Structure 1
Amino acid sequence: MTRARYSQVSLDYSSYYHCICRCVWRAFLCGQDHYSGQDYEHRRQWVVDRLAVLGEVFAIDLCAYAVMSNHYHVVLRINQKKALSWSDQEVAERWMQLFNGPLIVKRWLKGETEAAENLKAEEIVQTWRERLYELGWFMKCLNEYLARTAKEEDCCKGRFWESRYKCQALLDEKAVLQCMAYVDLNPVRADMAHTPEGSDYTSIQQRSEAIRSEVGDKQKPNLLPLVDENTIETTHEDTVCRFRLMDYLELVDSTGRAVRDDKRGAISAFAAGVLDRLGIEEGEWLAHMKPWKQRQPVALGSVLRLKAYAQLTGRKWVVGQGVAAGSVCPV
């Protein structure tokens, strides 16, 4: 049964989510459309630009992204604590970067309102604060903008996205790393790139460029960092997880070579060390990285966390417990 997206989001149990959105029928979001012959490659930058704008407005951090030909992936972290720390004025200014707020809020910002009007304006701002850390509003502001811009360019009307965005909860650190690696390897698996760092419009390429201190001529969104020599003393809240950036890059590279049939190589000893630290067996990791043959699970994680997530979101069970059955990790 179809469920509302808000019912799949439980900030009490997880703040990390994987979202996917696909264009309707055979329409191309980006790239070369083999049926019409049109080239939509320039639209990839639209997605990246919009992610950059929304990242500056919302209290939602971007962990990973990949812009494909007819769909895109994002791994997001909802930062409720950040949104609650903003002043009312900052919330209003952020929201009005995207929307034209009501006159009463504009007057309130200028200090031109009376006591009763102040209460109404503050009530509106409180609603905006909640929306600024709501996954649904983030995806709405992303998808609606892309659809309108694409249809305006094509001079057409109608549905642009195939369906509502698909949402997958990531319940533990292992699930977050697994999903980020999956997203970053999408172009390699689709034979659109030979290496992860050569994959255009992906977070793995952006992280690789940051290591090489390469400065591109195009806008890039802010990524929630992994641990490196500059962030080693920061708290876990400031980074995606507890693992170093170079560990992650090695992990993605080694996993990519292992899962591709047309590439030779084995998981390196360095990457295997990362897997051991996560408590993941090599065979189990590769099994997780295979494409889903059935419907995509709404959540990823250990069996204990899947059961707790099901209870919190009003489910009797969650698809994917069989995959996680052999890898229960400490809660």
Structure 2
Amino acid sequence: MPRPQRSEQFDPAEVCVVHVVQRCVRRAFLAGVDHQSGKDFSFRKEWIRRRMEALASVFAVDVLSYAVMSNHMHQILRNRPDVCAEWTDEEVAIRWLRVFPGRRLEEHLAEPTGNDVKMLTRDKERLAEVRKRLSDISWFMRALAEPIARMANKQDECTGRFWEGRFKAQRIVDEAGLLACSMYVDLNPVRAAMAETPEEAMHTSAYDRAKARRGEKLNSAAFDLKPIPTDEAGRKLRETPVDELREQRKKKRRNPTGRKILRDGWLSPLTMATDKLADEPEVHSDGVRSSDKGFLHLSWKNYWALLRWTAQRATKDSKTEMPPVVRDVLTKVGIDVSMWRDLVWDWQRYFGNNSCIGRPESIKEHAATSGRHHYRGQASTACCFA
């Protein structure tokens, strides 16, 4: 059965949460040690994390959770057209031009100038299309996948497709589905025996959040959202050799703004603020992510406790007793406590082939609003929810 069309799963003009999976062609190694060639590509995981961080600073898309694996990557993304609507025309223009400058390196580092921004803001039809694309998950994934593929092919001295095809997308329709999916994503390295505990599972959102709680910082990969003065750009282009421009561009990529941020500063906050209205955009103003809106009615302390407890339940015969706080979290969102372990560890069995994730009644409601009778797997997942 073919995958549903993107337009059937999410709309750039509507706030929605999507679980995204992108795989390498023929399960080739994205990162880690390739057993065929013996080469270690582990450093590519940081390529991907930094690219996601950079894109989170310009797109109206919140990165809720992520995990970079050996031959694929997971993200849970939330598009934010409400945030994009709050940006000025100049902000929209500079954000777009930072990612898609539309010029070659030799034409001044492919960095936007003040004149470029003015030209785009004057073209109202083009600007409206750009504003729409900045809150489109498909454009976010395009801007993430293409540069990684080019860099990997250049390093491997080959050409051709690097990714298996278009990314797989699953719409998440309620908090129970979002909590379970977020746990599944954060525990992917543990399930794959790449790490024994969440504390050791690098290049996951849970690892970043845990390290940030201890004050760990990193060089920000966020784009510099200030255009270069046009006269300065012209002077630099005339007076600086191309090789030197390339070297300057490479150095600036390491830390475009010269700032340090907490390790999870670019991720969406975990906990939703109780003093905010549900439809309030909560626009972020520090230039490292699109908004300050959380995504779960759950504290980090309780999320971390649930994550660690679930990680210990690798086998069904595990005798680890469920702490009361963990039981309360699951009961509150309507998940059957006795089925929680199976839901996360056997995720592919319950939601692997589904295009929609959540409680059966939530999936049914979403199907009705989408003009469908039902979604695949709607009935088979009922046993996991109270």
> Is the pair's TM-score, using the shorter chain for normalization, greater than 0.5?
yes
**3-state SS, counterpart of residue 312 of structure 2:** helix
Amino acid at match of 2:128: Q
Q: Does 1:275 align with 2:362?
A: no
Cα shift readout 1:146-169 (whole Å, capped 9, x = no counterpart): 111111111111111112111011
Equivalent positions of 1:179-194 (< 5 A) are: 179-194=181-196
Instruction: Give the % identical residues.
Output: 35
Contact 1:299–1:318 under 8 Å retained in 2: yes
Aligned to 2:339: 284
Aligned to 1:250: 305
Aligned to 1:318: 375
Contact 2:270–2:299 under 8 Å retained in 1: yes
Equivalent positions of 1:141-290 (< 5 A) are: 141-216=143-218, 220=263, 222-227=266-271, 233-234=275-276, 238-260=293-315, 265-289=320-344, 290=346
Shift of 1:291: 3.2
Aligned to 2:354: 297
Contact 2:360–2:382 under 8 Å retained in 1: yes
> Structure 2: how far apart are the matches of 1:314 and 1:148?
39
Q: Which one is further off, 13-22 or 168-177?
A: 13-22
**3-state SS, counterpart of residue 159 of structure 1:** coil
> Structure 2: how far apart are the matches of 1:33 and 1:189?
19
> Structure 1: how far apart are the matches of 2:320 and 2:14?
38
Shift of 1:280: 1.9
Aligned to 1:15: 16
Runs of at least 4 residues off by over 3 Å: 10-14, 105-110, 216-221, 231-237, 259-264, 311-316, 326-329
Amino acid at match of 1:254: W
Cα shift readout 1:194-237 (whole Å, capped 9, x = no counterpart): 11121011100011011122235686561111239xx6645556
Q: Does 1:137 align with 2:139?
A: yes
Shift of 1:240: 1.1
Contact 2:67–2:75 under 8 Å retained in 1: yes
Q: Does 1:123 align with 2:157?
A: no
TM-score (norm 1): 0.88
Shift of 1:245: 0.9
> Structure 2: how far apart are the matches of 1:248 and 1:296?
26
Amino acid at match of 2:29: F
> Structure 1: how far apart are the matches of 2:14 and 2:93?
28
Change (3 A) 1:60 1:14: closer
Contact 1:14–1:169 under 8 Å retained in 2: no
> Structure 1: how far apart are the matches of 2:45 and 2:295?
24
> Structure 2: how far apart are the matches of 1:125 and 1:63?
27
Aligned to 2:235: none
Aligned to 2:5: 4
Shift of 1:185: 0.4
Cα shift readout 1:259-293 (whole Å, capped 9, x = no counterpart): 44696623222211211222222123223221323
